């Protein structure tokens, strides 16, 4: 997969594409992340690690040596380039976790597009605390804003098609919910959060069951039976079932088995187009997801094939951090 991010920032200056009219019956989907107590708990745990990384059981000795304990200051967080901001909602929580004597005013919202020089937040309070909190705050906002910015560009490049952009589980350990939240800020959609909230039958599952000659369609039927037989206290009965195939000859049987989603792995545009035409004819309610070989250079052609979903690991594993900085207000 190529990691072509050229032109991402500059293209954000163009008008946003008009969204497609919503379907009267939205298709079944994975839970979509919002800013909630679970995500906030993840953030707090990460920030405790960030404090330990920067301070251990000591102090910010440079700041303590040079800045008086009662010194006050004001600072602004601003973007050095075009992009989409994400992570601003984390700033008050970071300040709280670091027990800093700082007030923050958010001037923009997560998902807003930035011009170079846009101020996203202003801070006032103890100058020592501002200096100590600077890097953890910037690390988080820069990282999440980079993901939101790259996602927005992928979304732009499929405007006018039926396809939707999805993230994957190729995330930074511990950061998954935050990074998937940033994808949502960029206009993308969340694939399953973890192994617990959907069933995704992949080639490695089938490979280990090869001695049973378990075909993808048979695997779909088996997991349906498994879900039905397991007590509802252990598993949601409406759990989505998705199955991966890498051969078109499996498509008929898989569609007959009735998963919610069929993942078409590493197929050419011609193969994806043929699969979409066939699906539309015999099982139009089952969604098709394209995966593999997806980049900014290929995304539009893939979206034009008629698939419903395109999963893009690069959104989280290859996004460049957006450049925001913290400067004193005099």
3-state secondary structure the chain: CCCCCCCHHHHCCCCCCCCCCCCCCCCCCCCCCCCCHHHHHHHHHHHHHHHHHHHCCCCCHHHHHHCCCCCEEEEEEEECCCEECCCHHHHHHHHHHCCCCEEEEECCCCCCEECCCCEEEEEEEEHHHHHHHHHHHHHHHHHHHHHHHHHHHHHHHCCCCCCEEECCCCCCCCCHHHHHHHHHHCCCECCCCCCCCCEEECHHHHHHCHHHCCCHHHHHHHHHHHHHHCCCCCCCCCCCEEEEECCHHHHHHHHHHCCCEEEEECCCHHHHHHHHHHHHHHCCCCEEEEECCCCCCCHHHHHCCCCCEEECCHHHHCCCCCCEEEEECC
* Fold (CATH) for 37-152+320-328: Aldehyde Oxidoreductase; domain 3 (3.90.1170)
- Asked whether the whole model's pTM tops 0.75, one would answer yes
244 catalytic? Reply is: yes
Residue tagged active-site, from 52, 135, 247, 285 = 135
pLDDT over 60 (residue 20): no
Residue tagged active-site, from 80, 265, 273, 323 = 265
170 catalytic? Reply is: yes
Residue tagged active-site, from 44, 80, 162, 202 = 202
In the block, tokens 């890498």 appear at 246
Residue tagged active-site, from 74, 80, 162, 170 = 170
Q: What is the pLDDT of residue 7?
A: 62
Give the domain ranges of the chain.
Answer: 37-152+320-328, 159-317
Two tokens at 67? Answer: 């800045």
What does pLDDT average to over the chain?
A: 92
pLDDT tens digit string along 254-284? 999 999 999 999 999 999 999 999 999 999 9
285 catalytic? Reply is: no
Q: What is the pLDDT of residue 318?
A: 96
122 catalytic? Reply is: no
Q: Alpha-carbon distance 167 to 188, whole Å?
A: 7
Q: Region 275-301: what's the mean pLDDT?
A: 97
Residue tagged active-site, from 153, 244, 287, 308 = 244
**Domain 159-317, CATH:** 3.20.20.70
pLDDT tens digit string along 34-61? 999 999 999 999 999 999 999 998 899 9
């Amino acid at each position: 997969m190529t990691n072509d991010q050229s032109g991402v920032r500059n293209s954000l200056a163009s008008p946003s594409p008009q969204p497609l009219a919503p379907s009267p019956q939205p298709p079944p989907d994975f839970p979509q992340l919002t800013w909630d107590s679970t995500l906030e708990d993840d953030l707090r745990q990460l920030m405790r690690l960030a404090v330990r990384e920067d301070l251990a059981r000591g102090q910010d000795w440079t700041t303590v040596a040079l800045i008086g304990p009662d010194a006050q200051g004001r600072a602004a967080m601003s973007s050095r380039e075009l992009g989409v901001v994400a992570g601003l909602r984390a700033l008050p929580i970071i300040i709280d976790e670091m027990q800093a004597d700082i007030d923050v005013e958010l001037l923009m919202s997560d998902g807003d597009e930035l011009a170079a020089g846009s101020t996203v937040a202003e801070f006032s309070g103890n100058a020592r605390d501002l200096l100590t909190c600077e890097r953890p705050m910037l690390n988080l906002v820069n990282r999440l804003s980079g993901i939101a910015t790259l996602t927005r560009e992928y979304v732009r490049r499929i405007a006018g098609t039926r396809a939707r952009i999805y993230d994957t589980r190729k995330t930074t350990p511990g950061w998954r919910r935050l990074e998937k939240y940033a994808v949502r800020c960029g206009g993308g959609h969340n694939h399953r959060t973890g192994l617990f909230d959907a069933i995704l039958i992949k080639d490695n599952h089938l490979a280990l069951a090869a001695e049973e000659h378990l075909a993808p369609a048979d695997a779909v039927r088996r997991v349906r039976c498994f879900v039905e037989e397991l007590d509802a206290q252990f598993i949601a009965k409406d759990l989505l079932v998705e199955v991966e195939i890498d051969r078109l000859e499996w498509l008929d049987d898989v569609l007959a088995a009735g998963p919610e989603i069929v993942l078409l792995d590493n197929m050419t545009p011609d193969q994806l187009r043929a699969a979409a035409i066939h699906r539309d004819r015999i099982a139009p309610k089952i969604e098709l997801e394209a995966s593999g070989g997806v980049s900014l250079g290929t995304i539009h052609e893939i979206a034009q094939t008629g698939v419903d979903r395109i999963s893009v690991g690069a959104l989280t594993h290859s996004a460049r951090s957006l450049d925001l900085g913290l400067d004193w207000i005099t």
